[in-house]
Structure 1
């Protein structure tokens, strides 16, 4: 088995490689592909093959996928550019004769109004059209997405959001990474789509309680309107695009688009997902 893991110099990709090795895949059967040369060098020291890869560079994709059996396509991080970048990766996989793609998508990507869903829906359609056997892991929200808010809560004593009473079933990146390793080291996952999420969906009040315990200071949940939220973010110096994205995402949470608790992530990894407080502490 020859597995190419894209995004290997990022958080999720590196964790996927760790879990593949811990589940018995030889380091020499794994190629970590990414853009950061220093992090690639660190990976190489573990015995993993490494190669430079940029989704926007078809030549680098062709080089990285030569001789590969499986492509772990970790979704790109550049919002608005993902469809073209993923198209390049899928085309390169088809040209290289890759026999399987495992893709990290978004919750209910084909039907959801989630702001992030359209690019993932388009990518899933491209994978199906390519005719390559696939497994799609629709990753829910990462607990690590809130690590900066821990510092804010420490400074202000508040957890501020415009998500209202919306709930988030977050899990830690290591949970989602282990799910990739699980589908690559066990049978029966071809053609499957998994809706992955944490076991427990929390709301703003519960997040504030968790932060209170974690930081050992009182943290108060402070709900605000979308308009108030936008103004606060603008005053903090965020650009208009980022402000719009954050407020829209909180709107998605308010509408219940990140609250699913299917249990499929825990079933795949064979253990409960990481509790919110433990995930924040680790982050």
Structure 2
């Protein structure tokens, strides 16, 4: 059996769908914090089990009979190391053979604040005695979904990325890659995949693409990380999230979200979703 944690999340549901196209749904465990939120998955024949990162007692039973586990990294920044350790310990106790973990692009030396917890979890996996594979996911194109709408409304893409390039791809691309690895038996333990889009772009490129696709005048306004974080807070984002986004843009400016390994396209067997395609889709809503 294959288990997917966070199976009702945005990435988790796409992984579940990708797996269901290739193996029986009864062989897939949807490990979720709230089983009631996964009623639709249960109706489709998936095995739904409670698996709450903050309640370790739920985890071992959730992983019973599972051979391969996809550990989708928690979204609780600041709590993720402890949460992931609980999952790893429960997987080992349950007899799981292999953990596939969604990390961050270039985790080993990434300048992004977000990378520190991923580095710690990668180290915990290496010390666990379990087989493991690292999917170091780059940025999602969907991270710019709200920016597209705001750009059309206000005529500007805001950021602190300077002229840095981001190699983003669609969330579905990363989900398809995860499903591919989960179903393969020939991936050696410790394998690291640096996953990123085929084509990189700057925030100025994004603004120009939005302008061309919408027929509106849109430009990129570059700010200092502190000013960008302040502006995001003014727009209503929680302080912690605003600070993380500003730090991520600063890391982008330093090359922290650029990748050219080709691993993602190789795993999914097709080109990754291009930024212009994403912009057109985002404008359609």
Output the TM-score relative to the length of structure 1.
Answer: 0.94
Aligned mates of 2:28, 2:235 — CA distance in 1: 43
SS of equivalent residue, structure 1 residue 221: strand
Aligned mates of 2:230, 2:179 — CA distance in 1: 42
Q: Aligned pair in 2 of structure 1 residues 231, 127: CA closer, same or farther (>3 Å)? A: closer
| C-alpha displacement of 1:25 | 1.2
How many matched pairs? 281
| C-alpha displacement of 1:172 | 0.5
| C-alpha displacement of 1:262 | 1.2
Contact 1:6 1:13 in 2 (8 A): yes
Q: CA RMSD in A?
A: 1.5
1:169 is aligned to 2:167? yes
Q: Aligned pair in 2 of structure 1 residues 82, 231: CA closer, same or farther (>3 Å)? A: closer
Corresponding residue for 1:279? Answer: 278
| C-alpha displacement of 1:244 | 2.1
Contact 2:35 2:48 in 1 (8 A): no
SS of equivalent residue, structure 1 residue 105: strand
Aligned mates of 2:5, 2:265 — CA distance in 1: 24
State the Cα deviation string for residues 204-238 of structure 1 (Å, max 9, x = none): 12101221233332211122223432332233243
State the Cα deviation string for residues 172-210 of structure 1 (Å, max 9, x = none): 010000011111223421221100000011001210122
SS of equivalent residue, structure 2 residue 111: coil
Q: Aligned pair in 2 of structure 1 residues 234, 18: CA closer, same or farther (>3 Å)? A: closer
Contact 1:157 1:220 in 2 (8 A): yes
Corresponding residue for 1:56? Answer: 54
| C-alpha displacement of 1:67 | 1.2
Name which of structure 1's ranges 110-119 and 224-233 shifts more when overlaid on structure 2: 224-233
Aligned pair partner of 1:133 in 131, 134, 147: 131
Contact 1:165 1:203 in 2 (8 A): yes
Q: Aligned pair in 2 of structure 1 residues 216, 245: CA closer, same or farther (>3 Å)? A: same
| C-alpha displacement of 1:279 | 2.8
Corresponding residue for 1:46? Answer: 44
Corresponding residue for 2:225? Answer: 226
Contact 2:19 2:179 in 1 (8 A): yes
Mapping 1:59-70, distance limit 5 Å = 59-70=57-68
Output the TM-score relative to the length of structure 2.
Answer: 0.94
SS of equivalent residue, structure 2 residue 216: coil
| C-alpha displacement of 1:71 | 0.7
Segments of 5+ residues of structure 2 without an aligned counterpart are none
Corresponding residue for 2:250? Answer: 251
Corresponding residue for 2:237? Answer: 238
SS of equivalent residue, structure 1 residue 41: helix
SS of equivalent residue, structure 1 residue 273: coil
Aligned pair partner of 1:82 in 73, 80, 83: 80
Corresponding residue for 1:99? Answer: 97
Q: Aligned pair in 2 of structure 1 residues 215, 44: CA closer, same or farther (>3 Å)? A: farther
Contact 1:40 1:51 in 2 (8 A): no
State the Cα deviation string for residues 144-196 of structure 1 (Å, max 9, x = none): 11111112112101111111101110000100000111112234212211000
Mapping 1:14-25, distance limit 5 Å = 14-22=13-21, 24-25=22-23
Aligned mates of 1:247, 1:18 — CA distance in 2: 33
Aligned mates of 1:138, 1:274 — CA distance in 2: 17
1:148 is aligned to 2:146? yes
Corresponding residue for 2:265? Answer: 266
| C-alpha displacement of 1:38 | 4.3
Segments of 5+ residues of structure 1 without an aligned counterpart are none
